[in-house]
Amino acid sequence: MRFEIPLQQTDFKAYEKKFKALADEKRLHLLSILCQEGPACVCDLTEKLELPQSKLSYHLKILMDAEMLVREKRGTWNYYSINSEVIDHLLSEQLCCVFRPA
């Protein structure tokens, strides 16, 4: 079954931002850790990714701007987790059908 999805220019821009965010090995690794282990703070992630806090913050910002992560403040710490709704949509049959021939 093929879904008919009329995409607009604004849709393409939004997808471009998301796919650019995914086009980096460190960000893919970061998403993998959050997917497998659940929410984590920067202090935990710097150790696991072997990145200084400044570089990790850069990658987190890109993923946040692409709406792929959710940030939750717990006391003085920010915890990051996967935005399942956005990730599920990117992996959906509906979006995949846009790129398959009829």
**pLDDT tens digit string along 14-71?**
888 999 999 999 999 999 999 999 999 999 999 999 999 999 999 999 999 999 999 9
- The pLDDT of residue 51: 95
- Which phi and psi angles does 33 have, rounded to 5°? -60, -50
Cα 94–Cα 29–Cα 26 angle in degrees, nearest 5: 110
Q: Are 58 and 19 in contact (CB under 8 A)?
A: no
Write 59-64 long-range contacts (CB < 8 A, 24+): 59/24, 59/26, 59/27, 59/30, 60/30, 62/20, 62/21, 62/24, 62/27, 63/21, 63/27, 63/30, 63/31
In order of their start, the domains of the chain are 13-96 (1.10.10.10)
- pTM for this structure? 0.82
pLDDT above 90 covers a percentage of the chain that reads: 67
